[in-house]
Homo-oligomer: A and B are copies of this chain.
Amino acid sequence: MANNAAPLERLIEQFSRFPGIGRKGATRMAYQVLGMSAADAMELAKAIEEAHTRLHRCRICQDYTEGDLCRVCASPKRDQSIICVVESPRDISAFERTREYNGLYHVLHGLISPMDGIGAEQLCVKELLARLGDGTVKEVIMATNPTVEGEATAMYLAKLIKPMGIRTTRLAYGLPVGSSLEYADETTLYRALSGRDEL
């Protein structure tokens, strides 16, 4: 469009706010919207509105859900004695796909990051601590990303939780399955070595 009319410009700007979508990608998306039927465009707009109005955080684990409790927290089949702490709701899907974990989750909705001005008080930390008071939970697994922020957050939480007499663990570091030794970075290789298992 030669004159980049205001509504188009606004739409491009909106799409460019998504992480990983640059100006060019946002422009493509905006034109794609213009090329849609009116019904399809309204459906897209409505899906955005509905997701935002109908979903909210689970009262217990802070994952997104339509009801008061999410499916995991509401299930009587899940092991109530173990909580896996993750950064975002997306991480829960990854664990569920393994079909190996049967405990509960807790979503922090972020990581401690002094560089971005994010402290523990902006995360769902007090909601986590509130779940640990009655003696049901025996272990908390830190499953934050293996990054500086993820590490720092796990350390911070461990310091709060260990004194409560609850076992505090974190995911193992090591070689990704199917990867090649040749391309492993030194830190990962060191961790794989120091954490080696008996065969």
Interface, chain A (partner B; CB < 8 A)? 1-8, 10-11, 13-14, 18-21, 25, 27-36, 38, 41-55, 63-66, 70-72, 88-90, 92-93, 96, 105, 109
The answer to whether B51 and A48 have CB atoms under 8 Å apart is no
Apart from A1-B90, A18-B32, A19-B28, what are 16 other A-B pairs with CB-CB below 8 Å?
Answer: A1-B70, A2-B70, A2-B96, A2-B105, A3-B72, A5-B54, A14-B43, A31-B88, A31-B90, A34-B52, A34-B55, A34-B64, A38-B52, A41-B49, A44-B48, A45-B46
Q: Give Cα A47–Cα B34 distance, bound, in whole angstroms.
A: 11
What are 5 A-to-B residue pairs whose CB atoms are below 8 Å?
Answer: A2-B71, A5-B64, A8-B51, A8-B55, A30-B51
Please indicate the chain B residues that have their CB under 8 angstroms from the CB of A105 in the complex. 2
In the complex, what's the smallest C-beta–C-beta distance from A47 to chain B, in angstroms?
5
